[in-house]
């Protein structure tokens, strides 16, 4: 199985900050990487697929990059609605696997 490791597990940031979350795969997954946002008590929301493609309706302040084993999610200017937990997921092969999540909190 492909293991996905996210870092950090949590971070504190201020409104307006630029935030970067990293995700590392245990083997080459090409660009088969997705990012999700989840707020407490809600279903996940899909943000990015194919490592860098924005899902429909997702604002351009979110961006993704990387290929192979190392990936990043960047939020260019953090807003109050962006405080949430973020997950990466590989879909290169079954079983699909998620990273452990990164909780973005208000500083």
Binding site for other proteins (CB under 8 A): 1, 32, 34, 36, 38, 43-46, 49-50, 55-56, 87, 89, 91-101
The distance of closest approach from Cβ of residue 8 to other proteins in the complex, given in angstroms and rounded to an integer, is: 14
The distance of closest approach from Cβ of residue 30 to other proteins in the complex, given in angstroms and rounded to an integer, is: 12
Between 32 and 69, CB nearer to other proteins: 32
Alpha carbon distance 24, 105 (integer Å): 22
The distance of closest approach from Cβ of residue 7 to other proteins in the complex, given in angstroms and rounded to an integer, is: 14
Between 14 and 43, CB nearer to other proteins: 43
Handedness of CA 55, 69, 66, 18 (dihedral sign): positive
Between 69 and 89, CB nearer to other proteins: 89
Among 63, 38, 37, residue whose Cα is nearest residue 51: 63
> Phi and psi for 2 in degrees, rounded to 5?
-85, 125
* Token digits of residue 4: 């996905």
Between 17 and 52, CB nearer to other proteins: 52
* Token digits of residue 62: 């979110």
Among 7, 9, 32, residue whose Cα is nearest residue 22: 7
The distance of closest approach from Cβ of residue 99 to other proteins in the complex, given in angstroms and rounded to an integer, is: 8
């Amino acid at each position: 199985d492909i293991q996905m490791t996210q870092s950090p597990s949590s971070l504190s940031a201020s409104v307006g900050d630029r935030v970067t979350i990293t995700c590392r795969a245990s083997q080459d997954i090409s660009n088969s990487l997705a990012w999700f946002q989840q707020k407490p008590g809600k279903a996940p929301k899909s943000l990015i697929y194919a490592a860098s493609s924005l899902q429909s309706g997702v604002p351009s302040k979110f961006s993704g990059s990387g290929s192979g084993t190392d990936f990043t999610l960047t939020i260019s200017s953090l807003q109050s609605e962006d405080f949430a937990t973020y997950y990466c997921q590989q879909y290169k092969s079954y079983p699909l696997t998620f990273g452990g999540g990164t909780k973005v909190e208000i500083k």
